[in-house]
Amino acid sequence: MVDPFHLAEYGTTAVNYNRDIESFPILKSLLERIVGSENRDVYYKSPTDMGVNRASAGITDDQVVREAARQEIIRRFFRYQWEYLQAVGTQETVERTEQLMKQVGVTPTDRPMVSPARQAAREAEATGKGHKGLYCGAALQLPDETIVTGKNSPLLHAASAAILNAIKYLAKIPDDIHLLPEVTVNNLGELKAKVLGSTSPSLNVAEVLVALGISAASNPAAKAGVEMLGRLRDCDMHLTHVPSSGDESGLRDLGIIFTTDAQPTSHGYFLR
């Protein structure tokens, strides 16, 4: 239908949904009661003013929005690929996202953390730092665009190592100072393996956060690191391997946006 409110206000013909046009007087009345009829400039004057067609009015830097959109497409590609490998997504969805990446001219490695994470995994293998023949890498981009990496070991998951390295960098703590004493990490690993029967005694992100919180009470370095955790919110991370549930929950609690190559961490991990 022609939007009569838009026509009356602006003298311009616009077409909108009949339901939106019919409901607009109700919304207008509610807005007037909330902000007052004398503040008419602060609320919508027609259903057309509320439509998705107005999204462009909020864009002040088109290049920033374009780059954010390209990055979101790459994140979706990794997510759909992971879901497909878990047999909860479809190959068609992955292929459609690949086509979309080609259309906008991006590849998975245009996500800045992807190549550093994969390089970290290769370095772990070259130096024999992994655990039981598994070599994982993680890379985290900080607010100043510095990228910090982590590798898996018998003590820590790759994501856990990246988190510790990141907060040490932010707190300007020297590399040779440990936020978590090795004896503490070893004792937690033994508890997981011998008492809880875990097949992965190395610490995931959630476990590292708990250990940091406890250590902060007696370790000034750990306390300084804990104070930096809030600065990781909305940062981006990439992992080469499937994150454990503890990694997922810990990264989610920190507000870190992560993607993964979804390489399996054990034989027979995937159904297909």
Q: Which helix (H) or strand (E) holds 262?
A: strand 257-263
Give the structural domain span for 80: 59-110
Nearest residue to 143 via CA among 124, 105, 171, 170: 170
242-272, pLDDT tens digit by residue? 999 999 999 999 999 999 999 988 644 433 3
**How many whole angstroms from its chain centre is CA 10?**
42
Nearest residue to 234 via CA among 251, 257, 250: 257
Q: Are residues 105 and 212 in the same domain?
A: no
- On whether residue 272 sits in a domain, the answer given is no
Final residue before a domain boundary, out of 110, 138, 171: 110
Nearest residue to 74 via CA among 243, 251, 257: 257
* AA identity, residue 75: R
Match 């503490």 to its residue by tokens. Answer: 184
Q: What does the block give as tokens for 167? A: 């907060």
180 in Cβ contact with 164 (< 8 Å): yes
- On whether residue 129 sits in a domain, the answer given is yes
Q: What is the pLDDT of residue 263?
A: 93
Separation CA 39–CA 56 (nearest Å): 24
Separation CA 200–CA 192 (nearest Å): 8
Q: Are residues 44 and 162 in the same domain?
A: no
Query: In the predicted model, what is the mean pLDDT of residues 220-230?
Result: 95
Q: Are residues 10 and 128 in the same domain?
A: no
Number of domains composing the chain: 3
Does pLDDT of 111 surpass 50?
Answer: yes
Mean pLDDT of the chain: 90
Highest mean pLDDT among 23-27, 130-134, 161-165, 190-194: 161-165
201 confidence band (pLDDT: 50, 70, 90) = confident
Final residue before a domain boundary, out of 110, 143, 178: 110
170-183, pLDDT tens digit by residue? 999 998 888 987 77
Exposed e or buried b per residue across 12-38, where buried means at least 16 C-beta atoms within 10 angstroms of its C-beta: eebebeeebbeebeeebeebeeeeeee
Q: What is the pLDDT of residue 150?
A: 97
Does pLDDT of 58 surpass 70?
Answer: yes
* AA identity, residue 96: R
150-199, pLDDT tens digit by residue? 999 988 999 999 999 999 999 999 988 889 877 777 778 777 777 777 76
